[in-house]
A and B are shown apart, each in its own frame.
Chain A
């Protein structure tokens, strides 16, 4: 069965530091990959997604992610953290041909001043 693993349920970085949130998936075929962000008591907002083409994907708010097929990974990065980045982040996948989006457990990002 397809699955998504986010390493680290809680990540804490200093303001201005690099943000790295890890996501690995299990699938024998390249999936469609997504990162969503959720602020408290709100729905999910799409940050970026990979379907085909260039493996480095740029999203909103300065985030980017790179699809690495050999590592079955889709890690999310941002060069310099801002206080407004504090939120919960979800990695999700759709296996090609499937009809549902499967989520990882989420990573709560805290930014220290």
Chain B
């Protein structure tokens, strides 16, 4: 089936540790995105990538890092510098967004700091 796969679904992190969330898509989309969701705050853009080996900061990039070495993969690392990382993280992808193409979402990953 075509779609976006995020893993793991649930992840627990100790303070001071880096963790990486995986996102893979088989939709042949050029663009990929990471959003963070907190209750009552909607979705906020962390990073996005329009093409392999290129990515841009979104609205809340501090404490996060990404890479885009392959078209189908866009992993997100939550570093120890992120002060409040507990949240629901959503990966998404689309073909050329400037044409108004639909952005498709994965099922999300819950990250909890313990």
Chain A interfacial positions (CB closer than 8 Å to B):
9, 32, 34, 36, 41-46, 49, 51-52, 90, 94, 96-106
Contacts and interface: CB of A to CB of B under 8 A. Distances in A.
A25 to B, nearest CB: 14
B27 interface: no
A101 B108 contact: no
B42 to A, nearest CB: 4
A97 B98 contact: yes
Contacts of A103: 35, 42-44
Contacts of B50: 99
B84 interface: no
Contacts of A100: 33, 45, 48, 58, 97
17 contacts: A9-B40, A34-B102, A36-B105, A41-B110, A42-B107, A42-B108, A43-B105, A46-B102, A94-B98, A94-B100, A97-B98, A99-B50, A100-B33, A101-B103, A103-B35, A105-B40, A106-B42
B90 A44 contact: yes
Best-surrounded residue of B31, B104, B105 (most CB of chain A within 10 A): B105
A77 to B, nearest CB: 21
A38 to B, nearest CB: 9
